[in-house]
Amino acid sequence: MTSEVDPKPRDLKLSSQFATLLPESNLYHTLVESERRLDALLNRKRLDLQDSLNNRGLSANGGARRKETMRVFISNTVQDQTWQRMDVDGRDFDFDISGGVPASWNLRIEGRLLNEEGDLEHRKKFSTYFTSISVEFENDEFGGTETHVAEWHEAAPSGLQPQQQQGQQPQQQVEFDVLDVRRKGSRPIKAKITLQPKQYPTRLTVSQPLRDLLGLEREETRAGVVLGLWKYVKFHNLQDLEEKRVIRCDQGLKNLFSSTANGAAAPAPVAGTTLQQQQQQQQPVSGSIDKFLFPQVVQLLEPHLSAPQPIVIDYTIQVSKENNLGEHVYDIELELEDEAGKLATKTLLDNWDTAPEITQLDEQIARTIQALNTSRLKHKFLADLAAQPSQTIENWLESQAADLRVIMSDRGFNEEEVRHSEFYTEEVLNQSVHLFLNGNRH
């Protein structure tokens, strides 16, 4: 079996022997030194930029995050209420003048970021900051307990939408600044407004025991939780030395998983155990877990992770006045993508993207230097041949003869040459002995 040899030249150094032949070669050495200093500067700036991004906080998908405050305005207006059909003396009008239109009200939800720059046409819409908005009404118009829900959900990306039927158009994303919900009614109604902020990737709520053990924040991504547990395992040397997938539980992990062991699915058998041990491991778990396979960590952590808590606002729709604009205002803190950090991250990644182009240029330079070295050797041979023809040819023949002896040494020797003592003082003998002893022929 022969190993593959990379034929690409790697040497980027230009021999100092070119100084007399090509005085311009000093410019190449100057460029190499300048490139070395520039690479050192870029690497230092790249590390500084990375540290800056880390200090500002990076999300799991690589974008910097910032916190902003959104001001949400909730109000309602009413139409065709009984009190709106009375004259100034409090006497009822003829109800027929309304054309039989029942009393109704309109709930309005709108919001904007504080200190947001830009005109109304170019700023982001209110709905782009949330994945869903729902309003649950308590219908006590007739004393019943039935509830009515109005919901809006962000459309899934085109690649994630369910397969459409033939001729059916995919769901289009609708962005808005104001959400209006109109219903019929003439009595005050309680409403629960639920806002689910947009998070990519989704951050889950971490249980208090898991936060205390791993030192995590209250909300973290699933990947961040698994990474935190892996760091805990490596710091406490809990990885099995023979079977790397097996994690041995210390007292902290035993206490963490024991609270969710009862009633949970039994972990898969650990590799390398006997059939009897595997049957014991597959029995329902009633106590603490001594060890587990790391691929099971998602299953074991699932009871300690819950869906992120939405923002819930309780509001009562009043029908005693025409509108209540500006009376109910709420400030909500949102975590948004930092555009400046996003640009810095893009700059950092674009800088790394130029690495293949630089490698290609280095290979081209190495091939050029290899060609120059070949031309320099040819030039030296021809110059020596022109100055001292006989001596140059003699030296060349000796060199070729020495190479030939090395190549042919493993095939035997001329008996006449062996009889002379000079044969044993030549360098080729050491090489021949080495080849003979390592050739498995003795």
CB 348 within 8 A of CB 46: yes
**Predicted pLDDT at 242:** 85
Q: Which residue has the tokens 């782009």?
A: 128
Tokens describing residue 212: 């205390």
For residue 441, how far is the Cα from the chain centroid? Answer: 59
Query: What is the Cα–Cα distance from 95 to 413, expressed in whole angstroms?
Result: 128
Burial of 229 (0-12, 13-18, 19+ CB in 10 A): buried
As a whole number, mean pLDDT of residues 323-338 equals 85
Q: What is the pLDDT of residues 305-319, one digit of tens each?
A: 988 888 999 999 988
Helical pair 339-353 and 25-56, crossing angle rounded to 10 deg: 150
> What predicted TM-score, i.e. pTM, was given to this entire model?
0.50
Give mean pLDDT, residues 72-85. Answer: 88
pLDDT of residue 54: 59
* Contact by Cβ (8 Å): 206, 305: yes
The mean pLDDT value for 109-116 works out to 87
Cβ atoms of residues 417 and 429 within 8 Å: no
Q: What is the pLDDT of residues 349-382, one digit of tens each?
A: 566 556 677 888 888 888 888 888 888 888 888 8
Q: For the domain covering 204-259+288-307, report its CATH number.
A: 1.10.245.10
**Average pLDDT, stretch 136-151?**
67
Q: What are phi and psi of 138, to 5 degrees?
A: -95, 105
Mean pLDDT of the chain: 75
- Residue identified by tokens 């995919």 is 170
**Which tokens in the block code for residue 306?**
């819950």
Distance of CA 182 to the CA centre of its chain: 43
Per-residue pLDDT, 138: 81
pLDDT, tens digit (0-9, with 9 covering 90-100), for 173-225? 678 889 999 988 888 989 999 998 887 667 888 999 999 999 888 888 888 89
CA distance 222 to 308: 12
Class of domain 66-84+103-155+174-199+308-346: mainly beta
pLDDT confidence tier of residue 264, bands split at 50, 70 and 90: very low
